[in-house]
Structure formats: C-alpha cells, structure tokens
C-alpha cells in the first residue's frame, strides 16, 4: 500500500469510527459492546458466495457466530440450512428455535454423557425440529461408536453418525483406512442403532504450517489424497453405505477458498470466522474479506501524562522515553482477546497491566479522546470473545440499527 492509499485509508477510518463513536454516545447506556457491521458482513457474504465451490454446500460454523439473529441472518443471505455446532448448550438453545428443514453436523465428538443429557433435556417446543433425524453426531473412535449404539438401545432410537478422519491435523479421528474399515463394519452390524452419514476432515494446518516444513500446495494435496482414499474405501468396500446424500465435510475459514474446484473431495464446506474476520484471520487466503466485528468500550477517566504507582516522580521521564505516555485513560473493562485499533496510536500500559475492571491506556498528545468517548478494538477471534458480551449491537451505515441476542452458553 503506497503513502497516498494509506492516507486515504486512515481518513476513511477516522470518519468511520468517529461516526460510530457518536452513535454509541447517543445510545441508551454506555457499556462495553460487541459490534457487527452489517454492511461489511454483507460484503463478506458476497465474497464467500462468489468463491464457493458450486458443487458444494455451505455450512455455518455456529461457535464462530454465536448469535441467534446473526445465524438466522447468515442462513437467509447464504441460502443455507446447514449448521455446524460444537457446544451442547448451543445445540439445546437451537433445538428450540429451528424448524424441520435445518441440518446439523457436530464439529467435535461429544462425551456420551453430554449427548444423553441433551436428549433428556430437550426444549418443550422444538418447532418441528427432530433432534434424532436432523443431527449428525461426530465420532472419532470405535469405542465412541459403541457408546452411541448402547445409548440408541436405551433410548430406542437410531443415531446419525459422521466419522471424523485425520487429514493431517493430527487432532484425532480415523488416521488410516484399516481403522476406518473397522468403524464402518461396526456400523453395518448395527443398522437399527446407527446410520452412517459421511465424513469430516478438518485441514487448517494446510495454511498454518511453516513453508520450510511443508508448502501449502503439498499439505493440501496430501490432505485431499487421504480424504479421497477414505471415500473410495466406502464406495468400493461398503457399497451398502454409499449414497448420494452422504456429507463429506471439511475446510474452515482458513482453507475454504482452496476447495473451490471440482477436484476437491468435499461436498460440504464449513466456515464462520471469515464472515466477521477477527485479527487471527488476517491471512493471505482471506485477503478479500473485511473486518466486520469490533469491541467498543467507553473512556471512564482521562489524565494528562502517565502516573504509575510508586513512580510518581518519573512521569516526566516516561513522557520523554515514550511520547505515547503524554496522555492516559482508564476504560470500562479491557482484558479481552483483542487489539486496540482506534484512536490510532492508543495502547495498553504494559506496566499497569490489563484489567477486567479498568485498563489503563496511553496515547500521544494529539489524541482527541475525552471521557465518555469510545475506544475500539478488533477481537482476535469471534468464538468465546463474543460470549463475553450480553448482546450484539448491529451497525448499518455507521449507526446502531439493532440489538441481537447471543446463544445460551449454559
């Protein structure tokens, strides 16, 4: 980016955050807020749709977008009925909100006790959602399949099971064809308790490995090669399990753009974080996506210079050492997985340290920040961080447009 482009970008962001600041100051109360910019979200959705493999379905990763209306909004604008869920409380909350058209795939294996708890504590009203037919539970070992078989007998139901395969991440799952065959044979022998619905192979390591260790191209080809071997094994050795409805899931925000050709073994692509793009996803494969989520928190106190405990006589020296000590502020909260992004040049005081109550920030002398103004941060990730806020404030054209609820986390 050249100097002129950088200057124009800074001026645009000044106007953007100044307008947000005024909108927040006019809001009904002043608290730390999680913001979703719907204009940027819309652009990211268009980017996603334009780059998706046309032969694959898109599946929303709920843990990365854990808001009720947020999920509904993205489902509508991506025309998908598919969700990936990682957390039983989210699953229970969704079971009371979804209809008969939604398809859910678990993103990680659940302890069988948790699965049983889910079925013993279903919402009274499920709006047509069938928790036995519309959920595909993820299993990673023969032992876990046996647990589902036993629970199915107890509940007199049949569970849909998707098998996790290890395509190179080495975080679990079936890592060779022999183990996969044993799992499939076990399912063949218990057709009234378990139904095979496909495979899931997660491959973020493809773009995260150091190039000196393995290139993206080689890592991607190796992951796809094993995935294809697993598919061929099912088709050739277990034809009774093979059908056109099988779900072959994978990807994730870091690699979803790599699976945009017909050569990909996947017919079901998961992603979530790229649509709001926290800082962890500032990576080359997601260069076309824009940040759409921010944290905004009010300034509680403002001081000239920086005075630290037991260092009262050194504040002049601190200013000479670092010009950013010329002003100090205390904000509401601050101990989040996030980076300060506005006003430009503001930073946490490293000696005072972060606080969940009041964090000290420092800024240069020319920073025009007053008490009750808002400071803005970009989250490192959307999962977990979003859940630290009561609700989501949505932004449209720089103004607060709505307040959306988060999924229940208990």
Determine, yes or no, domain membership for 404. no
Q: Give the pLDDT score at 366.
A: 87
Phi, psi (deg, nearest 5) at residue 73: -60, -45
Q: Give the pLDDT score at 7.
A: 38
Q: How many domains does the chain have?
A: 2
Smallest Cα–Cα separation from 77: which of 65, 92, 91?
A: 65
Phi, psi (deg, nearest 5) at residue 133: -95, -20
Q: Give the pLDDT score at 6.
A: 36
Determine, yes or no, domain membership for 284. no
Dist CA 103 CA 136 (whole Å): 8
Q: Give the pLDDT score at 4.
A: 38
Dist CA 84 CA 94 (whole Å): 11
Q: Give the pLDDT score at 304.
A: 85
DSSP-assigned states of every residue in 249-268: EEE-TTTGGGG-STTSS-SE
Instruction: List 195's β-bridge partners, or say none.
Output: 160
Last residue of a domain, one of 221, 246, 276: 276
Dist CA 145 CA 265 (whole Å): 24
Name the residue with tokens 């009234």. 192
The answer to whether 135 and 171 are in contact (CB under 8 A) is: no
Determine, yes or no, domain membership for 282. no
Please state whether beta strands 194-202 and 347-348 pair in parallel, antiparallel, or not at all (unpaired). unpaired
Dist CA 340 CA 194 (whole Å): 49
Dist CA 175 CA 165 (whole Å): 6
Last residue of a domain, one of 229, 254, 276: 276
Report, as ranges of residue numbers, the positions in the chain whose pLDDT lies below 70: 1-10, 306-325
Please state, as a whole number, how many other Cβ atoms lie within 10 Å of the Cβ of residue 99.
11
Nearby residues of 79 by Cβ (< 8 Å), 6 or more positions away? none
Q: Give the pLDDT score at 186.
A: 98
Containing H/E element for 366?
A: none
Last residue of a domain, one of 276, 303, 318: 276
Q: What is the pLDDT of residues 329-359, one digit of tens each?
A: 999 999 999 999 999 989 998 777 899 999 9
Q: Rounding to the nearest 10 degrees, give the CA dihedral for residues 372, 377, 381, 384.
A: -20
Q: Give the pLDDT score at 1.
A: 40
Determine, yes or no, domain membership for 60. yes
Q: For residues 56-83, b (16+ Cβ closer than 10 Å) or e, as one string?
A: bbbbbbbbbbbbbbbbebbbeebeebbb
Dist CA 120 CA 118 (whole Å): 6
Q: Does 20 share its domain with 61?
A: no
Q: Return the beta strands (E) in 88-193 as ranges.
A: 103-106, 135-139, 159-164
* CATH number reported for the structural domain that contains residue 111 in this entry: 3.20.20.10
The answer to whether 103 and 82 are in contact (CB under 8 A) is: yes
The answer to whether 174 and 164 are in contact (CB under 8 A) is: yes
Quote the domain boundaries for residue 261: 39-276
Q: Give the pLDDT score at 308.
A: 63
Q: Does 218 share its domain with 78?
A: yes
Determine, yes or no, domain membership for 307. yes
Q: Does 272 share its domain with 352?
A: no
């Amino acid at each position: 980016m050249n100097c002129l482009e950088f200057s124009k970008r800074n001026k645009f962001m000044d106007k953007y955050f100044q307008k947000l600041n005024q909108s927040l100051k006019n809001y009904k109360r002043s608290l730390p807020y999680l913001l979703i910019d719907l204009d940027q979200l819309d652009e990211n959705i268009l980017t996603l749709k334009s780059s998706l493999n046309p032969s694959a379905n898109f599946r929303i990763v709920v843990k990365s977008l854990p808001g009720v209306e947020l999920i509904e909004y993205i489902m509508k604008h991506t025309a998908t009925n598919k969700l990936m869920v990682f957390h039983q409380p989210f699953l229970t909350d969704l079971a009371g909100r979804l209809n008969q058209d939604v398809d859910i795939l678990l993103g990680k294996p659940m302890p069988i006790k948790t699965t049983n708890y889910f079925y013993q504590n279903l919402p009274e009203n499920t709006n047509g959602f069938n928790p036995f037919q519309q959920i595909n539970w993820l299993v990673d070992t023969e032992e876990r399949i046996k647990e589902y078989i036993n629970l199915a007998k107890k509940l007199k139901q049949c569970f849909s099971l998707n098998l996790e395969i290890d395509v190179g991440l080495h975080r679990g799952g079936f890592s060779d064809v022999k183990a996969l065959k044993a799992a499939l044979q076990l399912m063949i022998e218990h057709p009234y308790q378990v139904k095979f619905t496909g495979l899931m192979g997660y491959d973020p390591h493809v773009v995260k490995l150091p190039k000196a260790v393995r290139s993206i191209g080689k890592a991607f080809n190796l992951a796809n090669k094993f995935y294809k071997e697993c598919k061929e094994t099912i088709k050739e050795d277990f034809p009774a399990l093979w059908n056109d409805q099988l779900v072959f899931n994978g990807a994730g925000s870091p690699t979803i753009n790599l699976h945009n050709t017909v050569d990909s073994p996947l017919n079901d692509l998961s992603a979530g974080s790229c649509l709001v793009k926290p800082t962890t996803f500032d990576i080359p494969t997601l260069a076309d996506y824009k940040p759409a989520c921010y944290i905004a928190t009010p300034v509680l106190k403002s001081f000239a210079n920086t005075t630290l405990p037991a260092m009262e006589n050194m504040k002049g020296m601190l200013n000479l050492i670092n010009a950013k000590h010329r002003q100090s502020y205390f904000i509401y909260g601050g101990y989040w997985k996030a980076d300060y992004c506005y006003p430009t040049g503001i930073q946490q005081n490293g000696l005072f340290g972060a606080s969940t109550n009041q964090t000290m920030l420092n800024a240069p002398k020319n920073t025009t920040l007053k008490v009750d103004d808002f400071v803005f941060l970009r989250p490192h990730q959307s999962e977990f961080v979003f859940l630290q806020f009561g609700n989501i404030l949505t932004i449209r054209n720089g103004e607060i447009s709505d307040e959306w609820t988060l999924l229940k986390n208990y």
